Amino acid sequence: MAPRTALVIGARGVIGGNLIDHLRESGGWDVIGVSRRGGTDEGRVRHLAVDLLDRDATAEAFAASRAVAEVTHVFYAAYQERPTWAGLVAPNLGMLTNVVDAVEPVAPRLEHISLMQGYKVYGAHLGPFATPAKESDPPHMPPEFNVDQQQLLERRQAGAAWSWSAIRPSVVAGIGLGNPMNLALVIAVYASISKELGIPLRFPGAPGAYTSLIEMTDAGLLAEATVWAATTDVAQNQAFNITNGDLFRWSSMWPKIAAFFELEVAPPLPMALTEVMADKEGLWDAMVARHGLAPTPYSDVSSWAFGDFVFRWDYDVIADGSKARRAGFHSYVETEEMFLRIFTDLRAGRLIP
């Protein structure tokens, strides 16, 4: 049987990078990673640099690539940040449209397009929402680019030979630099700077967020689930919530994180990380030199706005993951173990002291 060929859109992000690692380790896949910066080809993994917001450039790059002509599966995990919810729609819907328009005419073996979504589909970013959220929950008032993207795939799939799936993780945690949505790195750098300053680790979020229920999605687990949904008949043309499988409260997780960094815990203190960490670049650079860390720019490790976004959720943020289990996906990750493993890996890679 001819090997499958994956086109991973958003290859430099935490989700895309871990997905490429999973495909490489699984075997049987040729991989093309697509991002604006491109990457270094290695083995069966090649990279393609293209600005997906440029419709013509995307079409030209895909048409010129012999590898893209062999694509069987598209894994879409690209994201463009904008300051408003309405502002997110045009670039994110546009990029997906450009990808589908460019890949369909040149990839006759196309079998599946996988779309990465999130709990914004349920209105989690707007305020308290019905929990645990189910894939069958009714939509909320737009704008919402995740919904628009899924509707695009539903329309385009009608009568086509390929199928689609939509994957809805909670907050994703994994190793990856320069990504604006990396909570594990936010916590690791925040804790490391707290230790450098000789102060206890305080939860910086809203008071209600410290005691509300939340869940996470390990990037490796997410990669496994994404490939499962894209290659399993029963999962075609459906959406699935994918989470670690356990729930927690920061009030119980925070002391365990502090213990890893050998820090005392002090009572929570609401503060915007974007403000209190804005002047810490010089301190970070000094830490890099003093501890012999990998020379990583502060801008690549400081996803403070995303930390503020998550830590202000003073309501439960949880979804029902039973649909995926009923369909046959049973993998599970303990969230405490996930955090400690990621911190250990960050330390082993000399990204934190």
Q: Has residue 185 been placed in a domain?
A: yes
93 and 189 housed in the same domain: no
Q: Has residue 353 been placed in a domain?
A: no
290 and 232 housed in the same domain: no
Give me the pLDDT at residue 74, please: 99
Residue 116: CATH number of its domain: 3.40.50.720
123 and 21 housed in the same domain: yes
Give me the pLDDT at residue 1, please: 56
225 and 295 housed in the same domain: no
Q: Has residue 305 been placed in a domain?
A: yes
Q: Is 174 exposed, middle or buried (0-12, 13-18, 19+ CB in 10 A)?
A: buried
Name the 3-class secondary structure at 72: coil
Per-residue pLDDT of the chain (353 residues; tens, 9 = 90+): 578 999 999 999 999 999 999 999 999 999 999 999 999 999 999 999 999 999 999 999 999 999 999 999 999 999 999 999 999 999 999 999 999 999 999 999 999 999 999 999 999 999 999 999 999 999 999 999 999 999 999 999 999 999 999 999 999 999 887 676 889 999 999 999 999 999 999 999 999 999 999 999 999 999 999 999 999 999 999 999 999 999 999 999 999 999 999 999 999 999 999 999 999 999 999 999 999 999 999 999 989 999 999 999 999 999 999 999 999 999 999 999 999 999 999 999 999 99
User: Which conformational region is residue 38 in: left (phi greater than 0), alpha (psi within -120 to 50 degrees), or beta?
Assistant: left
157 and 279 housed in the same domain: no
Q: Has residue 47 been placed in a domain?
A: yes
- Which residue range forms the structural domain that includes residue 286? 178-216+247-319+328-348
Q: Has residue 24 been placed in a domain?
A: yes
Give me the pLDDT at residue 176, please: 80
Q: DSSP string spanning 133-162?
A: B-TTPPP-SSP-HHHHHHHHHHHHHTT-S-
User: Is 88 in contact with 120 (CB distance < 8 Å)?
Assistant: no
Q: Has residue 299 been placed in a domain?
A: yes
Q: Has residue 160 been placed in a domain?
A: yes
**Structural domains in the chain (count):** 2
29 and 118 housed in the same domain: yes
Cis check for the bond before 132: say yes or no (omega within 30 of 0).
yes
Angle, vertex CA 68, rays to CA 32 and CA 231, nearest 5 = 70
224 and 145 housed in the same domain: yes
184 and 58 housed in the same domain: no
Name the 3-class secondary structure at 228: helix
272 and 206 housed in the same domain: yes
Sign of CA dihedral 341, 257, 330, 227: negative
